């Protein structure tokens, strides 16, 4: 087995898929990247057993098909030092070593036989949808931050994907905040599954430089994302997602309209003065006057700001975790937002003031009890 490949092209592909490799693996073979030659095509595969990434490169020169597994970190560190040039890879099956020949010299490293590398999961049903790369990237960006970081509650550590009646929903929550993002798509499929956060983070990064359709195929256990020259397989999170619709209040008599950036910048300033363990802020609304305040009695820190808004409802004082509220507002890109609430103890809804016809975004934050800290 022998092939010639561009050092820069190979490095770029390896860096794209190496993010899936964990630093501490119980199975040594998955520290490696699988190199597989099939007719003048080089397939590269990396996995952590839960998520598998495959990419490919076209080669001008190859001798014999075959597969070997090479230490990914060692190879990437080596490739980073080369200027752009063709590299020749020569496999020595007698002693399981690989020679890499460059303009500067020759480098030898050991490899593992490719048949020892884990196989990719198979999708048992021919079901799937198509979505533009830009739309998928936006969906991930606007939801993934709201998912929990809790190994003891794996179900809410992922992002719920629901497909029903031509609507694709992404939902994420950590029980303190929630985001639901709906878009219309062309499909008659109906499905519901929970996507793990790690592959979504990787996909989001890859989609940043892609402008094409993404094919998403799935069954009860796995999902495959196919776009450009990548295939990303991921095992779905097993379990039943909480009934998020039950926590979204439907009747909110108090409604605020305010410039998003004005409120966001005010929150960022005031939060600096809040108690670092609670991030508690107070929001008081009287007429069209909205007051944001925070205090940390331990250090005698205090901040108050007043903003103008459009308000319908009774005077109200309500407490929030300022950091969570900043996270939600930062994920929106509308000029103005609508905030709906009922009482200081019930969940608060946040919407972009103007929604596009084929998109519907709802964000929710749970208030916190106001306490003297």
Answer whether 2-116 and 248-365 agree in fold: yes
* Domain regions of the chain by residue span: 2-116, 128-245, 248-365
Query: What is the distance between the alpha carbons of residues 211 and 234, in angstroms, rounded to a whole number?
Result: 22
Residue 12 structure tokens: 């770029």
- Superfamily (CATH H level) for 128-245: DNA Polymerase III, subunit A, domain 2 (3.10.150.10)
Give the global pTM: 0.93
Residue 272 structure tokens: 């600096």
2-116 CATH: 3.10.150.10
Residue pLDDT tens, the chain, 373 long: 999 999 999 999 999 999 999 888 889 899 999 999 998 999 999 999 999 999 999 998 898 899 999 999 999 999 999 999 999 999 999 999 999 999 999 999 999 999 999 999 888 888 999 999 999 999 999 999 999 999 899 999 999 999 999 999 999 999 999 999 999 999 998 999 999 999 999 999 999 989 999 999 999 999 999 999 999 999 999 999 999 999 999 999 999 999 999 999 999 999 999 999 999 999 999 999 999 999 998 899 999 999 999 999 999 999 999 999 999 999 999 999 999 999 999 999 999 998 888 899 999 999 999 876 5
Q: What is the per-residue burial (b if ≥16 Cβ within 10 Å, else e) of 158-169?
A: bbbbbbeeeebb
Q: Please name the CATH architecture into which domain 248-365 falls.
A: Roll (3.10)
Sign, CA dihedral 323-328-333-334, equals negative
HSE-CB at 18 with a 13 A cutoff on CA atoms is: 19
Query: What is the distance between the alpha carbons of residues 325 and 131, in angstroms, rounded to a whole number?
Result: 30
């Amino acid at each position: 087995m022998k092939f010639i490949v561009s050092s820069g092209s190979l490095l770029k592909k390896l860096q794209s898929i190496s993010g899936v490799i964990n630093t501490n693996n119980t199975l040594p073979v998955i520290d490696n990247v699988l190199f597989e030659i099939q007719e003048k095509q080089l397939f590269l595969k990396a996995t952590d057993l839960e998520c598998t990434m495959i990419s490919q490169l076209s080669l001008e020169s190859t001798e014999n098909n075959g597969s070997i597994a090479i230490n990914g970190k060692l190879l990437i560190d080596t490739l980073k030092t080369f200027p752009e040039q063709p590299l020749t890879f020569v496999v020595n099956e007698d002693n399981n070593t690989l020679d890499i020949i460059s303009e500067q010299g020759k480098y030898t490293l050991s490899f593992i036989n490719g048949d020892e590398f884990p196989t990719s999961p198979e999708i048992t049903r021919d079901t799937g949808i198509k979505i533009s790369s830009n739309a998928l990237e936006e969906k991930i960006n606007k939801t993934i931050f709201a998912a929990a970081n809790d190994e003891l509650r794996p179900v809410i550590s992922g992002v719920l994907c629901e497909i029903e009646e031509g609507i694709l929903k992404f939902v994420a929550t950590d029980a303190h905040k929630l985001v639901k993002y709906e878009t219309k798509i062309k499909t008659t499929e109906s499905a519901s599954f929970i996507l793990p956060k790690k592959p979504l983070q990787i996909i989001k990064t890859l989609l940043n430089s892609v402008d094409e359709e993404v094919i998403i195929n799935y069954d009860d256990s796995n999902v495959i994302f196919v776009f450009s020259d990548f295939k990303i397989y991921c095992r779905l999170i097993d379990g039943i997602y909480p009934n998020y619709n039950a926590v979204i209040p439907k009747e909110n008599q108090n409604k605020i309209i305010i410039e998003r950036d004005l409120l966001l910048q005010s929150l960022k300033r005031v939060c600096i003065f809040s108690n670092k363990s609670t991030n508690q802020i107070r929001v008081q609304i009287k007429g069209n006057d909205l007051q944001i305040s925070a205090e940390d009695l331990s250090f005698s820190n205090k901040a108050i700001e007043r903003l103008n808004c459009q308000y319908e409802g009774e005077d109200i004082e309500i407490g929030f975790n300022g950091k969570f509220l900043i996270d939600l507002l930062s994920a929106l890109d509308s000029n103005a937002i609508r905030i709906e609430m009922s009482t200081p103890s019930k969940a608060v809804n946040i919407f972009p003031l103007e929604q596009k016809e084929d998109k519907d975004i709802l964000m929710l934050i749970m208030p916190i009890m106001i306490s003297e800290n």
